[in-house]
Structure 1
Amino acid sequence: MFQESRWKNFLSYVGPGFLVSTAYIDPGSMENDLQAGASYTFEQLWVILIGFIFALIIQMLAANLGISTGKHLSELCKAEYPKFVKYCLWLLAEFAVICADIPEVIGTAFALNILLHIPVWTGVLITGLNTLLLLGLQRYGVRKLELVISIMILVIAACFFGEMGYVKPPAGAVIKGLFVPKLSGQGAVGNAIALLGTLIVPHNLFLHSALVLCRKVPGSVRGVNDACRYYLIESGFALVVAFLINIAFVSVSGTVCSANNISDETTNQCNNLTLGSAPFLLKNVLGGSSSTIYAIALLASGQSSTITGTYAGQFIMQGFLDLKMKKWIRNLMTRCIAIAPSLIVSIIGGSKGAAQLIIISSIVLSFELPFAVIPLLKFSGSTSKMGPHKNSIYIMVISWILGVAFTGFNVYYLITAFVGWLIHNKLPKIANVFVGIIVFPLMLVYVLAILYLTFRKDTAVTFIEPIMLDHPVVQNNMEHGLSNSCEVVEADRIPYREDLADIQLPE
């Protein structure tokens, strides 16, 4: 009976981790995974492994932050930072949502191109309309819609797992790629950063810290600890599934494109691999229907990621500005902003240009990550924010090491890539001087902003002491998760947040 009760309690917390995990198998992740496999075979699998380890840690920290404080990340940023810093963080977070939406726009456009044989730029325009259709369907229950989309995403996962069984990637090379760091070949560093940018997206941290507030959590030390543990298990399972799907993408692409007996046609396809040309990877399993099934799954991937972006945008706006929009207005606004660069690039550069834009947006997301991760790490280890629930020194040391490593990796690439471009471009010297005068100060501002967030001392105290009930027996019952009398049953629970963008999730 006790085990049944704990299992029932765990199921009541299931949901946020799976919703968040859809961002890890969106069109941007697919694009970067497939290109990493085609260009570097299995050499960049270690980037995905480290990325998912870091993702699990910081998603756990985000969930714990929301549970322990009763506030989500953007609300705590608003309470902690001066007005100018607060608005800068808000703009960066909104820009991150837009950058994350670009791969969804282009991925949907590629899917429509495969299904309906329309130009990519036309598909980009249609994405604004299909977003309204998606939001219209949510009135029938977002949980049912998410279930359908998850099943469709699992279709493509099953396809790639089936293809893995057919092409049989070398186990030794895959294991070596997972555990032996290596970056060789032109553009390897940029592709690795793009991989990290699609694996760890800033808006997911704001999203996860808010979604957990839509559950009723007992207001005791044990209740909070149980909730943190349940969310860790749920998020861990969801992220492991997403990790395996990403491994399948890279393994299939790497195996097919590195085979000794591939045809010239396949070689050309691998050299120009985009989301639009990827169905050839599945022909061994699906035959002539590979394009249709791939396109349907790609469409589902893009639309499921749209849901997470919409909710994240609502939480960010509500937390920083105390402002909420209707979901359809919020989604349409974000989508229209994302459509503009996607449309311009797809018209000028075609499919290849649109695919490159996904890589660029992923790199931008990677550079924006410190402005969400650093506040999260600081708040998670702060007594003034978390009280007795602040994270252990071991978790904080590991998360800070990974956070500093990722940030240093980004700064190194930013400086070396720009200096390399200055040296090798064909612009007149005077033009290079002016570009340097503009860009180098911006780099300095970027580094100084990161240092400011890292070393600034927190001042706001937001932790609220839990209710201490007068009767010792009642207090003991609350701490051990036992029922109290009807007079205090409402006092032993932290009020859940009904104000968060009208999320339709179970209590």
Structure 2
Amino acid sequence: MKNWFKNVGPGVLVSAAFIGPGTVTVCTLAGVNFQFALLWALLLSIISCIVLQEMAARLGLVSQFGLSESIRKEIQNPILRGLAIMLVLSAIVIGNAAYEAGNITGAVLGITAVTPPLEFQIGSTFSLNIWSIVIGAIAFILLFIGNYKILERVFIALVALMSISFIITAFLTKPDFSAILEGLLIPKIGADGILTVIALVGTTVVPYNLFLHASLVSEKWKDPSKLKTARKELTAAIILGGIVSMAIVICAAAPNLTNVTSAADLAVGLNPLFGEYATWFIALGLLAAGITSSITAPLAAAYVVKGCFGWEGGLKSRKFKAVWMSILVMGVFFSSLKLKPIEIIRFAQIANGLLLPIIAIFLFWIVNKTSVMGVYKNSIFQNILGAVIIVISIFLGAKSIYSVLQNF
């Protein structure tokens, strides 16, 4: 058991990163609107996530470089390299800054589901949300310490809390397990469900996690002989994350739930059906999801910038800290003042819709290079799986961009 805990880390952080407030909200709406019918989409996304994250982990372990560093080193044409770096920086850094506000707000929703809101009025226009500042301060302290082992332990605890909270609540709803099995194994989709399917896959297979995972693995392990351990750890962590996402769908599929548009509404809605315990479990799960994502988004952005510019030093370097501090401060600002940076979020959605297939292609190309990976390059089976996932990600990216452009 002691050896098992010693090898837990990067995969748990990736799992924690994709189960943020956005995922909780999407899974809630999927359960409310479609009950168990779209669970197959989550199963598909878990498989895709494992395949792509394994490539990222293998790259980090064998090359000892992050994905952004590998892109900068392996693209020889200076114009193409510059364009690739600009695309990655704009989508990941600006996108993470926009979503950081949502992560912090999600954690605040978890707190305010069981406690009164704390606000400080500033003039007649703005009200300062004190809970946003508290969540931001927690994230700031953990990142500022700059100790990877401490971050690992905090994330293991938060992921455990989040998992227990949502899974227990799912069992409290006493679901029909035969209907769950049918939803998992028999794909069903109508015209109304396509955007929800895209959202479910998109919130699990997150572009910035590919950068984060490669960098974290290279921080934790220095020997390719640890590849088997890294694979086991990431597979177990992502499967657990997928089970948590499914548990949220199951909670939201409970009968007699009405007027549910977010996880906070779900917590309130479950109260009369299953008692105060369900409300507390959902609130704790949402709080843990918000805190974990509010730490990983700035951390991933810092790793991306570090790799793109070739900075030396790790978690404790000043430049590295300056990047995550900027992302965190913007997130706290937008969350605490209840501002909605709509245009930035729209840009982030379009950029991420384009970014996932492009980054997947970059990753696919690099892990097939003998000069980088040696004997650890992709096998034929891994290439087939990777190619299928890239085709799916291109389709989903195109649909995502189309859906966003329709709202302009």
Same fold (TM over 0.5): yes
Pairing partner for 1:373 from 337, 357, 360? 360
Pairing 1:288–2:276 present: yes
Pairing 1:174–2:180 present: yes
Pairing 1:20–2:14 present: yes
Cα offsets for 1:467-490 (capped at 9, x unmatched):
xxxxxxxxxxxxxxxxxxxxxxxx
Pairing 1:35–2:22 present: no
CA RMSD of aligned residues (A): 3.4
Is the 1:253–1:281 contact (alpha carbons within 8 Å) kept by the matching residues of 2?
no
The AA in structure 2 aligned to 1:314 is A
Aligned to 1:76: 70
- Alpha carbons of structure 1 residues 113 and 198: separation in structure 2 relative to 1, 3 Å: same
Q: CA deviation at 1:161?
A: 2.5
Pairing 1:194–2:181 present: no
Q: CA deviation at 1:86?
A: 2.3
Pairing partner for 1:322 from 281, 290, 310? 310
Is the 1:28–1:104 contact (alpha carbons within 8 Å) kept by the matching residues of 2?
yes
Equivalent residue runs for 1:420-435 within 5 Å: 421=406
Q: How many residues align?
A: 390
The AA in structure 1 aligned to 2:300 is A
The AA in structure 1 aligned to 2:24 is M
Aligned to 2:190: 184
The AA in structure 1 aligned to 2:376 is H
Is the 1:65–1:73 contact (alpha carbons within 8 Å) kept by the matching residues of 2?
yes
The AA in structure 2 aligned to 1:333 is S
Identity %: 23
- What secondary structure sits across from 2:86 in the alignment? helix
Aligned to 2:246: 247
Equivalent residue runs for 1:88-167 within 5 Å: 88-114=87-113, 115-118=115-118, 122=127, 126-128=131-133, 130-137=135-142, 139=145, 143-144=149-150, 146-148=152-154, 150-167=156-173
Q: CA deviation at 1:29?
A: 1.1
Q: CA deviation at 1:415?
A: 4.0
- Alpha carbons of structure 1 residues 43 and 340: separation in structure 2 relative to 1, 3 Å: farther
Is the 1:77–1:375 contact (alpha carbons within 8 Å) kept by the matching residues of 2?
yes
Aligned to 1:394: 381
Aligned equivalents of 1:288, 1:76: Cα separation in 2 = 50
Pairing 1:309–2:297 present: yes
The structure having more radius of gyration, on CA atoms, is 1
Consecutive unaligned residues of structure 1, counting only runs of 5 or more, are 219-223, 423-434, 436-507
Cα offsets for 1:75-102 (capped at 9, x unmatched):
0111133223322322222234234424
- Alpha carbons of structure 1 residues 124 and 40: separation in structure 2 relative to 1, 3 Å: farther
- Alpha carbons of structure 1 residues 290 and 163: separation in structure 2 relative to 1, 3 Å: closer
Q: CA deviation at 1:11?
A: 5.7
Aligned to 2:51: 57
The structure, 1 or 2, with the larger RCO (C-alpha pairs under 8 Å, 6+ apart) is 2
Consecutive unaligned residues of structure 2, counting only runs of 5 or more, are 76-80, 121-125, 312-316
- Alpha carbons of structure 1 residues 40 and 378: separation in structure 2 relative to 1, 3 Å: same
Is the 1:97–1:309 contact (alpha carbons within 8 Å) kept by the matching residues of 2?
yes
Pairing 1:274–2:273 present: no
Aligned equivalents of 1:180, 1:123: Cα separation in 2 = 47
Aligned equivalents of 2:103, 2:207: Cα separation in 1 = 16
Pairing partner for 1:411 from 389, 398, 404? 398
Is the 2:91–2:348 contact (alpha carbons within 8 Å) kept by the matching residues of 1?
no
Farther-moved stretch of structure 1 (112-121 vs 151-160): 112-121
How high is the TM-score relative to the length of structure 2? 0.83
Cα offsets for 1:47-95 (capped at 9, x unmatched):
1111110100111000101112221111011113322332232222223
- What secondary structure sits across from 1:116 in the alignment? coil
Aligned equivalents of 2:394, 2:191: Cα separation in 1 = 22
Is the 1:105–1:127 contact (alpha carbons within 8 Å) kept by the matching residues of 2?
yes
